[in-house]
Structure 1
């Protein structure tokens, strides 16, 4: 999948400690897919019942936190919930939605 996120954030605090609310949506575009079953003996076979969709959409939301170490250096923590709106497959037997709980963290430097 190639993921294209589009989002917005609203800062509640914007001092040495930053806090924001963020929301958006993601378009997940299928770039290449080989769906097959792998058996315990190592053999494989194609599985026709699960055909991934070329496009799936997710809503995303979560808070964001940052601590300013220096005027240009920040430590960030951004937990996010992604909720699948459209199924990622188009099979008749199975309908799978892609839901995620992610934690982004790191140090950011502003130029």
Structure 2
């Protein structure tokens, strides 16, 4: 059954940046968009199993640090080769100054 887990504080992530969040053996990436919203995806690239937390956020894109493939972190859609498999995304909510993600 899915559950909401506190991932971080809202001020832990600068706009157009991300942080890594590990929970129950899984790695997630939590993003702060340029328009002030928060998003969550799987924390590793679908191409080479590299942590996305070392990647570059540009607008609504995360660029993998290994081969420069890109994903739209709002939808998980693979946007630039070599990535061709979408990222899994997770629901996010904020309560006060905290960011929560819904995990399986």
TM-score norm. by structure 2 comes to 0.31
Q: Which has the higher helix share?
A: 2
Q: Which has the higher strand share?
A: 1
The structure, 1 or 2, with the larger RCO (C-alpha pairs under 8 Å, 6+ apart) is 2
TM-score norm. by structure 1 comes to 0.30
Larger Rg: 1
